[in-house]
Structure 1
Amino acid sequence: MRAENRTLTLGGIIALAPGEVGGVVSEEQKAALDALHLSKIDLADRILVVNPGGYIGESTSREIAYARAAGKPVSFTDRVAQ
C-alpha cells in the first residue's frame, strides 16, 4: 500500500490510505478505525484496492461492497483470485 500511495501521490493524486497504527488495538479501537476508513471511502472519487496475488480479505470485501453501494468506481492492483 505504501508503494501505491507513493506512486499516486507523486502522480499528483490525493491518496487516502487506511491508517497504519501498528501493534495491538482493542476491539473499540478497531471499530473506530473501521468507521474512519469508511469515512475515507465517502471522501474518495474512486477506490483502488491493493490486493497482491489477487487476495481480498473479509474486511476489504466489506469495504468494496460499501464503496460500490456508494457508487464509487473500484479497481484492483492485481487480478482478483477466484
Structure 2
Amino acid sequence: MKKTLICITFALVMTLPVGAGILCIPAVDEWLDTGSGYEFFTPLFQALDSHGSETNSDIIFGTLYTVSFTLSLMLAAALLAIVSRWRRTHRH
C-alpha cells in the first residue's frame, strides 16, 4: 500500500511537467495547428456534446493531462521497480 501511494503521489507531481513536455514536442504542435488533431478528437467532441472552441480546448487539455498522468504513472512505477531492485541487490 505504501509503495502504491508513493507511486501515485510521484505521478501526480510529474503530471504537469510531462504534459508541458508533450506540448513542447514540435510534431504535437504541428498536428494540432494543421487541424488533423481536431479531426482526431471529433468523435470525443460529439460524445461529450461539445459545441464551442473553449469546450473543445478543455477536452483536448483534459485528454492531454490524462495521457500525461498515465505516462507519469508508468514512469513512476518503473522507477520504483528499479530502485527496489537496486536496494535488494545492494543489501546482500
The TM-score, its normalising length taken from structure 1, stands at 0.28
Bigger strand share: 1
More helix by share: 2
Q: Relative CO higher for 1 or 2, CA cutoff 8 Å, sep ≥ 6?
A: 2
Larger radius of gyration: 2
